[in-house]
Amino acid sequence: MIKPHGADVLMPLYVADPSARESLFNEANNLASITLSSAAAANAVMLGAGYFTPLLGYMNLADAVSVAETLHTADGLFWPVPIVNLVEGADGISVGQRIALKDPNVDGQPVLAVMQVQAIETVSDQQMDAMVEQVFGTLDSEHPGVAAFTSQGRVLLSGPIDVLSYSYFQSDFPDTYRTAVEIRSEMESLGWQKAVAFQTRNPMHRAHEELCRMALEDLDADGCLVHMLLGKLKPGDIPAEVRDASIRKMVELYFPPNSVMVTGYGFDMLYAGPREAVLHAVFRQNCGCTHLIVGRDHAGVGDFYGAFDAQTIFDERVPEGALEIAIYEADHTAYSKKLNKVVMMKDAPDHDKEDFVLLSGTKVREMLGNGIAPPPEFSRPEVAEILMNYYQSL
């Protein structure tokens, strides 16, 4: 199992000791507080769970700007996206102060973390535009990631944090949410030395299923980590609990026991395409995975990125040795009528378009909403049933 990124061991910021955690909760009751944005709260959860090892808290402005521009912090740590706490204002807060960070996504806004404020900085419009364009590749406010990032405010609070909870993720998804620490531990107990990660924010259809199977076979891997995002998505995306149920059913019926680990992580989708793909690689390395599947339009949205930009960034922007995890590059996958199986289209040069079963996402959603199961070449019937029930309930 490979080492975490930038460290010999994982560095989760969650305060696991019950007495220490209780002491911090008591301290927080007497501290000045701010309510985090959903994005900043998700960053805290990821820091707490060890996914963002070796970061110790929120980045300052110099690090955020440097990461956006160069994919390195000011002191040289390779990192693909700014991990920041942006707020509308910081009245009553001063440098050197300890403050309570409240959770915007849980009723009553309980304390999520305690922060040591090391800097309070104002992000200029020029700096904000530069970061947004470098990370997301666009300034278009129609891009959901751009809209979310630019809506948080212009005051940046940075410094180390102690994380006191995993927000709603642990309570809402007790069978699925796992920290990087827990995933590493489970891989060790299963004896996995070589593991391939599959990122998803969608249900898994036949092409996704076969892609995981191809990667397992091609890499001679011990197992596959199906790792789904459990946080906020854009309107119209399928809720996490529906994705979870459909993926679990697929794994239960169509994969050998102990070959696939179905888990989830607590983060809001950035839709940052290539940059988010690199972030996915960083925190899958922290989970202990040796490989990450990166396919067509990985972490993309609309037409903002080229189909395989998320693969080429690893060749063009990730220096040799910056990451230990390797990328398993996947082409377009589709069901071949000629071969009666899902293939990568690049591996079937003798096929015409008519030889493949190709359905758009819009067409599939329309079928499901009308109670029509997609063809079995596209979706397993048991998965389609779960999705049809969801769409017909809308």
Instruction: Give residue 336's identity as a one-letter amino acid code.
Output: S
Distance CA 372, CA 394 (A): 15
Pairing of strands 223-229, 195-200: parallel
Active site residues: 201-202
Which candidate, 59, 103, 90, 93, places its Cα nearest to that of 154?
Answer: 90
| CA gap 74, 170 in Å, rounded | 34
- From CA 55, how far away is CA 75, in angstroms rounded? 12
In whole angstroms, what is the distance from residue 269 CA to residue 241 CA? Answer: 16
Q: Which tokens go with 284?
A: 């899958």
